[in-house]
Amino acid sequence: MKPDLKFGKLAPKEHPSTLALDKYVTPRTLPMPEEHRNWQNAVGSKFWGMLGNDQLGDCVIAATLHWIQAANFANDRPILFNKQQAVDLYSAVTGYDPEDPATDQGTAWTDMLAYWQKYGVYGHFISAWASIDYTDLNALRQAIDIFGGILIGTQVTGSMQKQFADGKPWNKPFKGGVKGLHGIPWLGYGREGQTCITWGQAQPMDLTANSICDEAYAVVTEDFLDAAQKTPLGINAEQLAADIKALQV
């Protein structure tokens, strides 16, 4: 991996507005995830962009913007973001000051999610977010299938850095020591593994990639769910709506 590529996710941080996805899922009625799903394919490779993560620890910011892109491209609403927008959002969420490098301290996922819910991200809002059991690969894939992708916190090891530099998938064993914590969107999966977006491109991962994760979230947003004009089968939408309303009081 190029030495100037950055990380920037902070350790998992509790937040009172974090819901738990398994509270709203009825296991027996929730459909098995499709055999494969590739929400990232709606976005051409040239449209992702590094969004500053080669110079700043703004991976969580970049991941958020990439998720919004994917959700809107998938519903025929192409949208692009640039580095300056990413930097401005990083400043708004964390207090980063471009004139003071010492303020480049990264972002906690829940801080980003809380900001997204309260203030929106360039006109795009979420009504809620819910944590997912990242040790359960099937649950992660169900969430990708239903919500148009998920937001992940993961470790990046030395071997993963080399695999990225060599244009290879992230495969076990994940060795070489942990080099940093990274925030990325997982947008696709198939028989061999998952696909995330990182450092401006799609990166495949093997079936064990969730073993190095430390948090995972689904977001409830009109960007994706309302465009489908349906309530996902197996989701207790009534309870979810009630809990979202309670958070807004």
pLDDT band at 248; cut points 50, 70, 90 = low
* Spatial distance between the Cα atoms of 138 and 110, rounded to a whole number of angstroms: 23
pLDDT 10s digits, 45-83: 889 999 999 999 999 999 999 999 999 998 888 999 999
When pLDDT is averaged across residues 101-123 and rounded to a whole number, the result is 97
Q: How many CA atoms lie within 13 A of 69 on its CB side?
A: 27
- Phi-psi map region of 195: left, alpha, beta (phi>0 left; psi -120 to 50 alpha): beta
Q: What is the CATH number of domain 19-247?
A: 3.90.70.10
Q: Kindly indicate the confidence band of residue 1, based on its pLDDT and cuts at 50, 70 and 90.
A: very low
**Quick check: 227 pLDDT over 80?**
no
CA distances from 204 to 42, 149, 175, 201, 229 (A): 16, 14, 17, 10, 30
pLDDT digits (tens, 9 = 90+) for 145-185: 888 899 999 999 999 999 999 999 999 999 999 999 999 99
pTM: 0.91
- Say yes or no to pLDDT of 2 above 70: no
Helix, strand, coil percent content, the chain, rounded in steps of 5: 35, 25, 40
CB atoms within 10 A of CB 88: 15
The residue extents of the domains of the chain are 19-247
Is the preceding omega at residue 232 within 30 degrees of 0, hence cis? no
- pLDDT for residue 183: 98
Q: 140 falls in which pLDDT band (50, 70, 90)?
A: very high
